[in-house]
Amino acid sequence: MKTDPGNLLPTQNGGNCLKLSKRDRCPLAGDRRNNEAPNLGLNHLLFVREHNRLSMKLHELNPCWSNEKVFQETRRIIIAQVQHITYNHFLPLVVDHDTMGRYNLYSKTNGFDHVYDDSVDASILNSFGIAPWRYGHSQIMAEQSELKDDYKTLFKHKIEDNLQSPHLWQRSYGKHVTSLSRWLATEPALKIDNFLVEGIRDKLFFITTPPGSDLYSLNIQRGRDQGVPAYNEWRKFCGLRKYRSFDDFEKFGSNLAAGYETVDDVDLFIGGLLEEGENGSVGPTFSCIIGIQFQRFKVGDRYWYESADPDFAFTKDQLNSIKSASSLSKIYCTNFGLNEIQDDIFKIPCSKNSLSYCRDLPDLDLYLWKDKTCAWTTHPSGSCNDPIDC
């Protein structure tokens, strides 16, 4: 995939972003929102680099493959990595273990799992996109930082000063990507609650659209504009007890009573954020909706990465390599120039999740994708994978 100098995202023609220096340019990505915050832009850059890393290796292994075949096979591997990491490393920290089991969200440890059901609608529930999947807004920190090799703070940048701008990671042809990625990998997010930092509460996009907006207000109004059922309706749908009075919200009841006429009027976004999760990050109502949605994504996807369909399935060995070696920690290390990182990037470093050298983390065995009709290649182990020469 095309990149700019510094192995950065390519420049977008006529892009609309905030340029804080003369060298800044608006990068092109698969989602036009990639400039909303520096960390979002970094995630787009991450998987472009991972795609190019894998495609280069596949081309070296299989010189007879066309560019299109290399691209499509790399794309297939990246999708499988994202699906595996999302369902097995990320989601278990968002919803509780019971929800993961109830909706069959865990992947099998090894081998295939043909879960496809053509009667399942894999499209996105409006309520999911409007409320539960915006829980992360409450976790946004007031500052985005850069860390040195020893993980001590190098620079701090206010979130409101860098919204809609790729400047932080574009500077000096991408030389600050590594220091920003250290912060992303190790700094704990804020607790999920009903509070929002000032930078996105009163100053959202204040530079480009003064005097700025309020992200929570936008979320609430978007739900009302699109007719999302109220919080109590979703509690009932999920088999939870409906709240009968504002007292059920405990310490926040009086605040809600001042803004809503009845308890049945409370918006899904507000009510869900006020719940405290017991075994996961979100409360039971958000956990329910997220579980339903990700089950639909999985079961309604004919091309789910664990499928055994002979028309497009990975081989069993390829699939097992994806399952055993796919981790966001490894992808960060390999593509962002880190020397070490904790084994599980979704958890902060500690004695049970200590830093490891990047070279020691498992990587995909791409020799499992060797096309034997192409030129002979030797596996790094020294073994020969050409049956004629062996």
What residue numbers does the annotated binding site for heme b cover?
A: 137
For residue 8, which of 177, 261, 205, 141 has the smallest C-alpha distance?
177
Which tokens is 236 given?
A: 């009932």
Instruction: Give the residue carrying structure tokens 């990246």.
Output: 78
CA 341 to CA 149: how far, in whole Å? 11
- The residues that bridge with 11 in the sheet, in sequence order, are 27
Q: DSSP class of residue 90?
A: I
Of how many residues is the chain composed? 390
* CA end-to-end distance (rounded Å), the chain: 35
Q: How many CB atoms within 10 Å of residue 91? A: 20
Q: What angle, 0 to 180 degrees and rounded to 10, lies between the N-to-C axes of helices 328-336 and 38-61? A: 90
Note whether 263 and 109 are within 8 A (CB).
no
What residue numbers does the annotated binding site cover?
A: 137
Note whether 47 and 3 are within 8 A (CB).
no
Q: What is the tally of helices (H) and strands (E) in the chain?
A: 15, 4
Q: How many CB atoms within 10 Å of residue 126? A: 13
Residue 28, C-beta contacts closer than 8 angstroms, at least 6 positions apart: 9, 10, 11, 12, 15
Cα distances (angstroms) measured from residue 28 to each of 54, 298, 360:
21, 29, 33
